[in-house]
Amino acid sequence: MGEVLALVEARLLTAFGEPDARAAVTFLGTDRIEVLRFSDGDVVRYATLGMSASPMSDPTAALADPVKGPRAELVLTVRAGLAETDKVLRPLAVLAASPQVEGVVVAPGASLDVGEPLWPGAPFTSVLVAEPGGLVEDLDLDEPMDPVRFLPLLPMTQNEAAWKRVHGAGALQEKWLNGKTDLRDPLRRSVPLD
């Protein structure tokens, strides 16, 4: 477990440089989850560290495989200085702990909801899990372990989350693209969904 996390942290440092802050959260019955903050000009990135220590397993499986299975960490990018986005640390840790706590497999296209604003005044309580490979390359591990994927999170308003449940992740991303939506704006309004 420690070896995997050391490799994951090295990959994050290669992609984003040294973190300027880090926080750790431990939930009862789970491994520790850290959230690292990387400031880069007018954007700030938050990356989890700890979710990939164990593979995610199918909640219907009788036994969880301790070696094989998908592994991931979460990355959220927002514009700096527009909101108290540092308060996202605990919600991000909650999302990163969800495979251990709830037995969910976090994958692209999924919606994750924390049930409260991601930070004070945020119009978002949930995120869309996007495709990996853009900001941070997948981290290959020794066989038979699956690679660690770094999954971008895109904050969704309640209306967007409801619309996505009906129409799908691809349709929502198309609406964002067509509406020239700044997904890094921590205070943005919902994209028009008519």
Provide mean pLDDT across the span 146-151. Answer: 96
pLDDT at 68 over 70: yes
The model's pLDDT over 174-185, given as tens digits with 9 standing for 90+, comes to: 999 999 999 999
pLDDT, position 59: 64
Residue partners of 60: CB distance under 8 A and separation at least 6: none
Q: What is the pLDDT of residue 149?
A: 97
> What does pTM read for this prediction?
0.93
Is the Cβ–Cβ distance between 96 and 73 less than 8 Å? Answer: yes
pLDDT digits (tens, 9 = 90+) for 21-34: 999 988 777 788 99
123-135 pLDDT, tens per residue? Answer: 999 999 999 988 8
pLDDT digits (tens, 9 = 90+) for 1-48: 679 999 999 999 999 999 999 999 887 777 889 999 999 999 999 999
In contact, 63 and 134? CB cutoff 8 Å: no
The torsion defined by the Cα of 43, 17, 176 and 121, in degrees rounded to 10, comes to -40
Write out the two tokens for 55: 């593979």
pLDDT of residue 94: 92
Q: What's the whole-number mean pLDDT along residues 110-118? A: 94
Q: How far is CA 23 from CA 26, 61, 72, 113, 158, in A?
A: 10, 32, 19, 21, 28
Q: What is the CA radius of gyration of the chain?
A: 16
Give the separation between CA 75 and CA 71, rounded to whole angstroms.
14
Return the percentage of the chain with pLDDT > 70, whole number.
95
Angle subtended at Cα 145 by Cα 108 and Cα 66, rounded to the nearest 5 degrees:
95
- pLDDT at site 5: 94
Length of the chain measured in residues:
194
pLDDT band at 57 (very low <50, low <70, confident <90, very high): confident
